[in-house]
Amino acid sequence: MSDPIILCKDVHKWYGNFQALKGVSMEVQKGEVIVIFGPSGSGKSTFIRTINRLEEHQKGTIIVDGIELTHDVRNIAAIRSEIGMVFQQFNLFPHLSVLQNVTLAPIWVRKWPKDKAEQVAHDLLERVGIPEQAEKYPGQLSGGQQQRVAIARALAMQPKIMLFDEPTSALDPEMIKEVLDVMTELAKTGMTMLVVTHEMSFARAVAHRMYFFDAGQVVESGTPDEVFKNPQEDRTKLFLSQILTH
């Protein structure tokens, strides 16, 4: 078994006096799809945001692809270039067209020439199913389309890891499927993914492992089969009963 691509050991994070993460440890192998779930305020989003330094962890170690995440700006930049992130609120740049949104980072960070960036962008837009929207502006697209553009934008940087922070929570129900389909296809190509979500159908279909978070800690983890059919902890059982039977 090779080294994990993400290694988190005993990660703590405080916001002032409030402790959001209380010693979270996790190992992710290359190509694994991890689903993280739990009640709101449990620290799931905070946790994945510490991995690409959108939040700073005060204690513990995070190592991504062999690079340790510290205050070192070069390490941070290197790690961020290997991780793509998709947000709950899409966060597309409203003043740029869809194409410009996708090509922005490759041109300015990877310093690709414009033609190459646009070619890659068109391919990605095709892959997520909306090649014809390239010249439109984010405000003219539906939520599902915007999120798919966001996925394409993250993929344009050719990351090794994709983080998803509740990608479908802000979508109208009829658009959730189109985004989940893209994510499923991505998982099948072998991308390492950490997904915070409530979509248990997705977890069942694609996840290699699931982690249940509550109050800043990992309460339980296992394969989807193990977690759904045989949850060990009471809190896990309680939470599953709340979200699976409505």
Partner 1 sequence: MTAPSIPTTEKPPVASVGVLGWLRQNLFSSVANSLLTLISAAFLMFFGQAVLTWAFTQANWGAVTGNLQVLTWGRYPESQVWRLGVSVLILLVLGGLTWWLWRRGAESPARRGLLFGWAVSPVALTILIHGITLPTPATISNNFGYYLFRPDVLPLLEESWRGGAACIVIGLLGGLTWGYLQGRRRVLGLVACGLILLFLLPLGLQSEPWFFGVQVPILLPMAIDLLLATLVGNAAGRSLSNFEGLRRWLPWIWGLTLLLVVILLTTFDVGVARVAPVETLPIVSPNIWSGIMLTLLLAVVSIVASFPIGVLLALGRRSKLPIVRGFCILFIEVVRGVPLITILFMAQVMLPLFLPLEISIDRVVRAMAGMTLFTAAYLAEIVRGGLQAVRNEQVEAARALGLSEVLVTVLIVLPQALRAVIPPIMGQFVSIFKDTSLVAIVGLLDLLAVGQSVIKQREYLGAVREIYLFAGLFYFVVSYAMSVASRRLEVQLGVVDS
Partner 2 sequence: MTETSPEQTPKNSSFAFLRDLRFIQALAQAVFVILVLLAGRWLIGNLLESVQTRGLSLSFDFFRRTAGFVVGEGLPMERTDTFWYAYLIGLYNSLRVIGIGLLLATVVGVLAGIALLSTNWLLRSLVSIYVEIMRNTPLLVQLFFIYFGIILKLPSLQDRITVGAFSLSNRGFYFPKPIPGTGFPLWIAVTLAAVVVSIVLYRVLLNRRVQQGVETRPLLWSGIILIGVPAAVWIFTPGHPLALDYPALQGLRMEGGATLSPEFAGILVGLVLYTGAFIADIVRAGILAVAKGQQEAATALGLSKSQVLRLVVLPQAMRVIIPPLTNQFLNLAKNSSLAVGVGYPDLYNVSSTIFNQSGQAVQVISLMMGTYLVMSLLISAVMNYLNSRLQIKER
By CB under 8 A, residue 153 contacts partner 1: yes
67 binds, among partner 1, partner 2, none (CB under 5 to 8 A by kind): partner 2
Contacts of 89 (CB under 8 A, 6+ apart): 170
Among 8, 64, 83, 203, interactor with partner 1 by CB under 8 A = 83
- What sign has the CA pseudo-torsion 94, 95, 97, 98? negative
Among 41, 66, 113, 190, interactor with partner 2 by CB under 8 A = 66
By CB under 8 A, residue 74 contacts partner 2: yes
Among 17, 73, 229, 246, interactor with partner 2 by CB under 8 A = 73
| Phi and psi angles of residue 235, each rounded to the nearest 5 degrees, phi first | -60, -40
Strands of 192-196's sheet in order across: 83-86, 161-165, 192-196, 33-37, 209-214, 217-222
| Phi and psi angles of residue 180, each rounded to the nearest 5 degrees, phi first | -60, -35
Calpha distance 177→144 (Å, rounded): 9
Of residues 14 through 73, those in contact with partner 1 by CB under 8 A are: 52, 54
Give residues in contact with partner 1 (CB under 8 A): 52, 54, 77, 80-81, 83-85, 87, 89, 91-95, 104-105, 107-109, 111-114, 137, 139-140, 153-154, 157
Give residues in contact with partner 2 (CB under 8 A): 3, 65-68, 70-76, 78, 81-82, 158
